[in-house]
Amino acid sequence: MKHAQPRGLSRSRVRRLLLRGGNGRRAGDRVEIISREFLGKPYKSNPLIGSADTPEVFTASLDGLDCVTYIETVLALARASSVDRFVEWLRKIRYQRGRVEWARRNHYMTSWIRDNAREKIIRLVSTRAVPAVSKERVLNVVPGVAPRRVRLRCVPKREFTRLAPCLRSGDLIFFVSTRRNLDVFHAGIISRDGERILMRHASRSRGGVVEQELSEFLKANRMAGVIVARPRG
């Protein structure tokens, strides 16, 4: 079945990004290279089109991103060998089984992580040296999505320094909310320079895609813990 071209797609810009990111040996290397190309791009709140009452429109714009669409776009570019493959990967990463429907969009990040791990696009990073804890949430913040009870495992914020040596450039990091009705409140991409750990992310407060010290973000924000995933391929 042939799919329509997604809204906002610039094939020439995607080609340029694919050329710049194509030399990385690991998926994480490609994620690191491509994520750098988005620094300075503006933040856009709610960049996707669709709701419980509005038909879903598949979008692939490179202009205006939130933290989730930034990660999705970079990850799809890192896996793609052509513009058409980028579109296919973006659809598969964003929607369950790649079907463009609002009900099949991964509205909560626990669903996003689970589905992309199941599709072997990412894998969770863990170490026996750092004990993870279990958290239960009843997710109900997305209008039109029935409340759902989930259990997730994360590394507590206080234990992060023990996890830090395991992080690589290109890893995805998810910050677990302290709220009982939300799983993850933000996400970013790790960029490592020796012992220095940076995070690239689409920041609402800073108005765009920025790079900052991960320790600075951890210090400034309350959270229950972190989940780290590594791109595969």
113 and 20 inside one domain:
yes
Q: What is the pLDDT of residue 19?
A: 93
Averaged pLDDT for residues 189-218:
96
Percent of the chain with pLDDT over 70: 98
Percent of the chain with pLDDT over 90: 91
Averaged pLDDT for residues 164-191:
97
163 and 110 inside one domain:
no
91 and 172 inside one domain:
no
Indicate the residue type of 54: T
Which structural domain range is residue 37 located in?
11-118
* Bridge-based pairing state of the strands 184-193 and 172-176: antiparallel
Q: Which of 154, 216, 215, 205 is nearest to 184 (CA)?
A: 154
Does 159 have pLDDT greater than 70? Answer: yes
Which of 118, 141, 165 terminates a domain? The answer is 118
pTM check: above 0.85: yes
Residue 114 lies in a domain: yes
Our count of domains for the chain comes to 2
Does 4 have pLDDT greater than 80? Answer: no
Q: What is the pLDDT of residue 227?
A: 97
The Cα 151–Cα 40 span in angstroms is 35
Averaged pLDDT for residues 30-55:
96
Strand partners, 210: 201
Does 157 have pLDDT greater than 80? Answer: yes
Q: Are 68 and 48 in contact (CB under 8 A)?
A: no
Residue 42's pLDDT band, with cuts at 50, 70 and 90, is very high
Which of 99, 118, 137 terminates a domain? The answer is 118
Q: Which helix (H) or strand (E) holds 134?
A: strand 133-139
Q: Enter the tokens of residue 144.
A: 């039109």
